[in-house]
Structure 1
Amino acid sequence: MILSRPRAVLFDLDGTLINTAPEFVHIAAELRREAALPVMDTQTIWQSVSDGAIGMVQAALEISASDPSFEFWRQRFLDHYESGLGALSKPYPGMRELISSLGSHGVPWGIVTNKLARFAVPLMTLMSFTPSAEIVLTPDDVVRPKPDPESLLLACEKLQCSVSDTIFIGDHRRDIDAGIASGCQTIAASYGYLADGESAQDWGADAIAASSLELRTLIEDLLV
């Protein structure tokens, strides 16, 4: 599919609109310190961000979810994250400008994320995105989160925009799978948190943005 001028634009959150990885790298280091483990290569955590708290705890402490101590460490992870939410996160370069461009062209935008509302909503506020975002959908709003298309279909319904006129951008295969299943136009953000050896070329997206600045240009060119 060739991308066409959108009537709405939806973003994944972590690894697409906001770079949250530095926060998670810091938390992973704290958990390893508490567990008396040696320092870990930060790239290991960076590549597990899209796997959520479960995946990051597994990567940080090198334990499985079936480990008797796993739930304790998962809760420690969430406690650390909540207490320092947003401290080390920031929008990717060009994203504020892109959001401004969408507004000036009358194109509504929003977030469709698998991040829990208790973290996603305040993070959006901390990053000063909340006033202009038309919608923020999280797993708390649906029965089946991404890769199921339910959240994207709900977002389009709430925005009163057809899926074919909506662009969805994400940095994980599940994002693109959800976008394709919903009928949205899709852009893979290959600058996000891809696992080692993974290629966004394999996801079947309509377009790929290798950087956030490239994404900005790609979208803004469609608005002209």
Structure 2
Amino acid sequence: MPEAVFFDLDGTLADTAPDLAGALNRLKAEQGLVPSPLAQLRPQVSNGVRGMLGVGFGITPDAPPYPALAERFLHLYATALCVETRLFAGMDELLSHLDDAGIAWGIVTNKAERFARPLIDALGLTARCACIVGGDTAARPKPFPDPLLHACISTGMLPADCFYVGDDIRDIQAGKAAGMRTVAAAYGYLGSSPPIPTWDADAIIAHPLDLLSLLGKH
């Protein structure tokens, strides 16, 4: 049984796609463009601003309009972080199981701390989670191991005693590089990652509560 379980945020712990899509479509409306359907945007959420603007505007970070659009997108998102965002079905029950078992849990995301912390607070989880590590907390974001190693230091855990759960190949790469057991969340966004069986995760779960079987709790 692990001492701690760390979760990616977008697409693993919570379904943040509706609010990110909402921010993008408000930006598109300001530019006189028709909205993009959620189904088209959802897989790109794990790719952050680059993914959202890539689908919504068909541009890459080297395009001249990109910096201004990215800044405006993030401003719009910050004003409505947790309107439709919800924990994935079964996640709250899973977190309660971890609490009851005395297993610490935390969040390690590539979302900047200035967005991650108020979002976790709005979800009512701040007092329960052992750490919140953003994409700008450590020297390098995932797929580098730095954020996960930072989580271990801040919680006093050894990487070998921890699980990391994520819905993108970079999560598995980061977890392995940190020396943790890795779990791929097949219920997540998956994005433009290669097929999930090729990620070389230690386990794959189709539902948050499937993690309990790996913990010997179900």
Task: Return the TM-score normalized by structure 2.
Answer: 0.93
> 1:25, CA displacement in angstroms?
1.8
Give the corresponding residue for 1:54.
50
Give the corresponding residue for 1:43.
39
Give the corresponding residue for 1:71.
67
Give the corresponding residue for 1:121.
117
CA distance in 2, matches of 1:121, 1:75: 19
CA distance in 2, matches of 1:196, 1:85: 24
Deviations 1:135-188 (A, max 9, x none): 111123211111111111121222222211100000100000001111100100
1:95-106 matches, cutoff 5 A:
95-106=91-102
Structure 1 segments unaligned to the other structure (5+ residues): none
Which amino acid counterpart does residue 9 of structure 2 have in structure 1? L
Structure 2 segments unaligned to the other structure (5+ residues): none
The percent of aligned pairs where both chains have the same amino acid is 38
Secondary structure of the residue aligned to 2:106 is strand
CA distance in 1, matches of 2:193, 2:78: 31
> 1:86, CA displacement in angstroms?
0.6
Q: 2:143 aligns with which of 143, 147, 160?
A: 147
| Residues 154 and 197 (structure 1), Cα distance of their counterparts in 2 relative to 1, 3 Å cut | closer
Give the corresponding residue for 1:24.
20
Instruction: Name which of structure 1's ranges 167-176 and 29-38 shifts more when overlaid on structure 2.
Output: 29-38
> 1:113, CA displacement in angstroms?
0.8
CA distance in 2, matches of 1:110, 1:64: 32
Deviations 1:21-42 (A, max 9, x none): 1112222222222222234333
Q: 2:199 aligns with which of 184, 200, 203?
A: 203
Task: Return the TM-score normalized by structure 1.
Answer: 0.91
CA distance in 2, matches of 1:107, 1:212: 16
Q: 1:218 aligns with which of 206, 213, 217?
A: 213
Number of residue pairs the alignment of both structures matches:
218
| Residues 160 and 39 (structure 1), Cα distance of their counterparts in 2 relative to 1, 3 Å cut | closer
Secondary structure of the residue aligned to 1:48 is helix
Instruction: Name which of structure 1's ranges 189-198 and 21-30 shifts more when overlaid on structure 2.
Output: 189-198
CA distance in 2, matches of 1:170, 1:79: 26
CA distance in 2, matches of 1:119, 1:25: 15
Does the aligned pair in 1 maintain the 2:168–2:191 contact within 8 Å? no
Quote the RMSD (CA, aligned, Å): 1.7
